[in-house]
Amino acid sequence: MSIPVSNIVNVTISTTPTFPSRRGFGLLNIVGISNVINLAERYRLYSDIDEVAADFASTDEEYIAATVFFSQNPRPNQLMISRRAEQAYSAELIGGLDAEQTLATWVAITDGEFTISIDGVEEDITAITFVGDTSLDDVAAGIEAKLQAVAAGGFTAATCVWNGEKFIISSGTTGSTSSITVTSEVSGGSGTSIVSMMDNDAGNGTAVAGVDLETITESLDVIQLANDSWYGLAFTKEVNDVNASVLLASDWCEARIKLFANSSTDTAVKDSLSTTDVAAALFAGNYRRTFSFVSFLSEDYIAVSAFARIAVVNFNATNSTITLKFKQLPSISPDDLNGNDAAVISGKNCNYYALLGDSDMVSEGECANGTFIDSVHGIDWLQNAIETNVFGRLYTEATKVPLTDKGASQLTEQVRLALDEGVNNGLIAPGTTLAGEVLDQGYTVTAQKVADMNASDKALRKGPTIQFKALGAGAIHSIEIKGIFEG
């Protein structure tokens, strides 16, 4: 045995934490009511329309909305679809994909059996015969008949269906008290177990508890708890022009870093005397995080297409920020509006897609309170960029950022780096403030001197206050040109 070299040269290498990632500002969440996504799962992510088509039928509203989303050019690369509980739902036992599909195997059984608990009551389901069945739908109907024959509690109206891929058993009751378990073998049973054939036992089946009817707010709370990575919100068309639901969603988004894309097909939007249409209601509510688009050609997902256009903005690229005005909405038919229609719609801070001359384009690209959509989008990005930069500097420092002017300078530099990105992508530009201050870089950043901090903040290890001022680059939406021509 030799003496280790580390007695002479002792090397230790430390690693630092990974710098945190910034959140994205392009993921749209389409909230629907189709039962494709179960209420325990709540959401799924999709990369293209083919993935959506694998789950949803072409007539499902989620599929129709997704088609509009992925038709935008440039095409977004990810979409989230989630489900809300617009009514009370039963507990469900969803079988796996390995269910027995050979009909001959089923029709040979005259004494099928399994054990299941519904609404807290466990029962042995026995003596199920499948002789004479001609389809897996018949098999499911036979199981259902035996469940209902228990004639007690959730068994009385229990159902069993074959959905083309798996068996689904549901309790006959609804709401949060509705419950179900996976199936198991009958203890001491003498019949033929069909547990593995249904593929809904432990490890294969998924038991989903019943759910009470949810308000829009309650559904969004549950969905966000399941996945908070999304930024944009849209609903399938049953919410369109239902003021109570739209306003609840707007209230919910207003308190968060979310952006609600609302679509309307109500002709009252272009009526100057109407104060009850959804655009007028949102205008009255002064919402900064909700934008509406109206279509009088029943384009139910016009706002989805508009969000899809801002979803592809790459804030890391040069001159990449956009205004929605002048943009096109592929797959959406433009309205034929006159000047008065346009003025009334714009007067409610609602947006439209129409022909201007021979060109179809978006106007005006505003949120309900008059703030331009791209400004809200860009400011949300900037807030997150600064927050992530500064936190990342604190988080990855191997020792510490000292509570000194030098330490404050380190964090001020992280703010400056994010603002420089804003200049690069076109969100921020040099100019003069309303107070007459010239910002040659488009922004200024200052940090409080540590010597000026109060003792209690120092004792709590609070950093000195960092302040910045930035000028938005804005965008040209109209221009007047005057000239004199002498012949």
- How many of the other CB atoms lie within 10 Å of CB of 356? 13
Q: Identify whether 220 is part of a domain.
A: yes
Q: Which of 208, 243, 278 is the last residue of a domain?
A: 208
Instruction: Say if residue 126 is in the same domain as residue 203.
Output: yes
Instruction: Say if residue 253 is in the same domain as residue 298.
Output: yes
With H, G, I as helix, E, B as strand and everything else as coil, classify residue 75: coil
Question: How many domains would you assign to the chain?
Answer: 3
Instruction: Say if residue 174 is in the same domain as residue 143.
Output: yes
Q: Identify whether 285 is part of a domain.
A: yes
> What angle, 0 to 180 degrees and rounded to 10, lies between the N-to-C axes of helices 278-285 and 243-254?
30
Domain that includes residue 430, residue range: 398-487
Instruction: Say if residue 165 is in the same domain as residue 271.
Output: no
Instruction: Say if residue 250 is in the same domain as residue 345.
Output: yes
Residue 390 CA to residue 379 CA, distance in Å, equals 17
Q: Identify whether 390 is part of a domain.
A: no
DSSP string, 123-170: EEEEEE--TT--SHHHHHHHHHHHHHTT-SGGGTT-EEEE-SS-EEEE
Helix intervals (H) in 186-312: 195-198, 216-226, 243-254, 278-285, 302-311
Instruction: Say if residue 79 is in the same domain as residue 97.
Output: no
Among candidate residues 246, 283, 275, the one with its CA nearest the CA of residue 261: 246
**Structure confidence by residue, pLDDT tens digits, 252-282:** 999 999 999 999 999 999 999 999 999 999 9
Q: What is the mean pLDDT of residues 281-306?
A: 98
Instruction: Say if residue 120 is in the same domain as residue 165.
Output: yes
Q: Identify whether 11 is part of a domain.
A: no
pLDDT band at 175 (very low <50, low <70, confident <90, very high): very high
- Alpha carbon 238 to chain centroid distance? 17
Q: Identify whether 392 is part of a domain.
A: no
Instruction: Say if residue 450 is in the same domain as residue 356.
Output: no
Q: Identify whether 13 is part of a domain.
A: no
Q: Identify whether 380 is part of a domain.
A: no
pLDDT band at 179 (very low <50, low <70, confident <90, very high): very high
Instruction: Say if residue 337 is in the same domain as residue 250.
Output: yes
Instruction: Say if residue 231 is in the same domain as residue 169.
Output: no
pLDDT at residue 477 greater than cutoff 90? yes
Residue 430 CA to residue 187 CA, distance in Å, equals 79
Q: Which of 157, 182, 208 is the last residue of a domain?
A: 208
Instruction: Say if residue 365 is in the same domain as residue 412.
Output: no
**Structure confidence by residue, pLDDT tens digits, 412-463:** 999 999 999 999 999 999 999 999 999 999 999 999 999 999 999 999 999 9
**Structure confidence by residue, pLDDT tens digits, 219-231:** 999 999 999 999 9
Adjacent-strand bridge partners of 92: 170, 208
Q: Which of 373, 390, 413 is the last residue of a domain?
A: 373
Instruction: Say if residue 404 is in the same domain as residue 289.
Output: no
Buried b (16+ CB within 10 A) or exposed e, 86-105: bebbbbbbbbbeebeeeeee
